[in-house]
């Protein structure tokens, strides 16, 4: 990355802890996030030499002024770039700071969580002091929240790489220097990772390296503004593109994995959990988007998926809302077929492929919401776990298709 500006006001040349905060054109309350991170480091890690790094990919200088102008006890470093690569690219520069500053522990904190607390910093960093190499967050969540992760990213990463990391696209994560060094050496830094796909990339690499990992329970929901179209498609494109694109360079890792293993969860039961806010899901809208996909992508779907899967999708098409169901077996083979079709194609084809997957995802999301509407959060989680087993059971199908392609 070509950084247009690096401002190290305090001349920091060494830090045990780096907390990196990405930002873009002041879209979120950066000053609040910086202040909370400062309090977390000052309260829980006052004996450690820490620094807060802002990775800014804005088109103006306003964010820099906000970051540097926010009063903190912890020193700050600003890294700015107007490179069009995106958030992942500029965050990579903060990963490189881990090497430059001889840092032991590294944390990413997104500025979009309106309810971030100083305790989050403690919960993410504490496991690293207990010799865990990678820490993913586990937030309190509504059962209909972040369906892209629940229906696609989590089942795929779990079945591919064998670790049950419930939130591989978490807004926050933490890792130790040794892992950062290995990650920077990997040839995985493509346009998807360099945009919105960095979190799932780092989670995936951590799974591949088989280092001690855990999930840090955050006893609160992560409150953000829900993504709407077309912002959601851009995000969908980046994170799904990341999952699919990593399968080629990481083939030797995922092909030898047969089943998944549990990942330790730290912090459960230590505090009362704050309930998640209710979410209203537009079921009619999901149904319309699913059906709309047939008008545009029906013939393309026929080319990508197997004939039996295509026939099943046609059956689902004819179900009314009261009987709508998208079986886990069908969804699994769709994703595996799409992943195989993604392999070795040019950027234009890949973009069209991911775009064509979106209506099918809407159909699967609708099916899940209807199925779990009378379930508790735990019952809904159990339903997701059951679907993940279907992904694992059908992995031989993926490997067979992959080797044929």
pLDDT one-digit tens code per residue, 65-91: 999 999 999 999 999 876 656 788 888
Residue 334 has pLDDT above 70, yes or no: yes
- The mean per-residue pLDDT over the stretch 299-315 comes to 98
pLDDT category at 223 given cuts 50, 70, 90 is: confident
If residue 7 lies in a helix (H) or strand (E), which one and from where to where? strand 5-7
Residue 393 has pLDDT above 70, yes or no: yes
Q: What percent of the chain clears pLDDT 70, i.e. is strictly above it? A: 96
- The mean per-residue pLDDT over the stretch 270-299 comes to 91
| Residue 82: per-residue pLDDT | 66
Residue 229 has pLDDT above 80, yes or no: no
Average pLDDT, the chain: 94
State the CB neighbour count (10 A cutoff) for residue 283: 15
Residue 1 has pLDDT above 60, yes or no: no
| Residue 278: per-residue pLDDT | 87
Domains of the chain from N-terminus onward: 5-266 (3.90.550.10), 283-404 (no CATH)
Name the more confident of 174 and 24: 174
- The mean per-residue pLDDT over the stretch 111-123 comes to 93
Residue 2 has pLDDT above 60, yes or no: no
Residue 367 has pLDDT above 90, yes or no: yes
pTM listed for this prediction: 0.95
Question: What CA–CA distance (Å, rounded) separates 98 from 86?
Answer: 20
Phi and psi torsions of 162, nearest 5°: 85, 15
Question: What CA–CA distance (Å, rounded) separates 110 from 170?
Answer: 9
pLDDT category at 27 given cuts 50, 70, 90 is: confident
Cβ contacts of 389 within 8 Å, gap of 6 or more: none
In DSSP terms, 53 is beta-bridged to 20, 77
Name the more confident of 332 and 277: 332
In this structure, is the dihedral angle defined by the CA atoms of residues 168, 174, 177 and 178, taken in order, positive or negative?
A: negative
Q: What percent of the chain clears pLDDT 90, i.e. is strictly above it? A: 81
| Residue 158: per-residue pLDDT | 99
Residue 357 has pLDDT above 60, yes or no: yes
249: Cα separation from own chain's centroid: 19
| Residue 88: per-residue pLDDT | 87
CA separation (Å) from 329 to 58, 289, 307, 312? Answer: 43, 21, 14, 10
State the CB neighbour count (10 A cutoff) for residue 322: 6
């Amino acid at each position: 990355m070509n950084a247009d500006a690096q401002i190290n006001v305090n001349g920091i040349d060494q830090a045990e802890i780096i907390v990196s905060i990405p930002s873009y054109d002041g879209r979120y309350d950066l000053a609040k996030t910086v202040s909370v991170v400062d309090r977390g480091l000052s309260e829980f890690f006052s004996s450690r030499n820490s620094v807060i790094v802002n990775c800014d990919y804005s088109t103006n200088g306003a964010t820099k002024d906000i970051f540097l102008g926010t009063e903190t006890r912890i020193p700050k470093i600003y890294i700015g770039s107007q490179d069009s690569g995106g958030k992942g690219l500029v965050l990579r520069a903060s990963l490189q700071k881990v090497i430059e500053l001889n840092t032991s522990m590294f944390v990413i904190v997104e500025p979009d969580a309106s309810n971030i607390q100083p305790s989050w910093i403690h919960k993410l960093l504490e496991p690293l002091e207990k010799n865990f190499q990678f820490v993913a967050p586990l937030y309190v969540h509504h059962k209909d929240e972040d369906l892209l992760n629940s229906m696609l990213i989590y089942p795929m990463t779990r079945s591919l790489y064998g670790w049950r990391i419930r939130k591989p696209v978490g807004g926050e994560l933490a890792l130790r220097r040794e892992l950062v060094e290995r990650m920077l050496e990997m040839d995985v830094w493509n346009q998807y990772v360099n945009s919105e796909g960095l979190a799932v990339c780092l989670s995936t690499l951590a799974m591949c390296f088989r280092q001690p990992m855990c999930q840090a329970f955050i006893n609160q929901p992560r409150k953000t503004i829900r993504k709407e179209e077309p912002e959601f498609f851009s995000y969908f494109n980046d994170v799904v593109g990341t999952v699919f694109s990593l399968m080629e360079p990481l083939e030797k890792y995922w092909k030898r994995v047969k089943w998944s293993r549990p990942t330790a969860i730290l912090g459960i039961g230590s505090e009362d959990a704050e309930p998640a806010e209710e979410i209203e899901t537009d079921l009619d809208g999901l149904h319309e988007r699913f059906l709309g996909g047939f008008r545009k992508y029906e013939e393309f779907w026929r080319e990508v998926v197997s004939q039996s899967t295509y026939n099943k999708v046609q059956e689902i098409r004819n179900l009314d809302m009261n009987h709508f169901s998208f079986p886990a077996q069908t969804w699994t083979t769709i994703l595996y077929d799409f992943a195989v079709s993604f392999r070795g194609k040019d950027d234009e084809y890949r973009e069209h492929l991911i775009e064509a997957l979106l209506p099918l995802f809407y159909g699967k999301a609708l099916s899940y919401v209807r199925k779990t509407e009378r379930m508790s959060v735990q019952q809904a989680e159990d339903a997701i776990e059951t679907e993940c087993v279907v992904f694992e059971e059908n992995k031989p199908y993926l490997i067979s298709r992959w080797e044929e392609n």
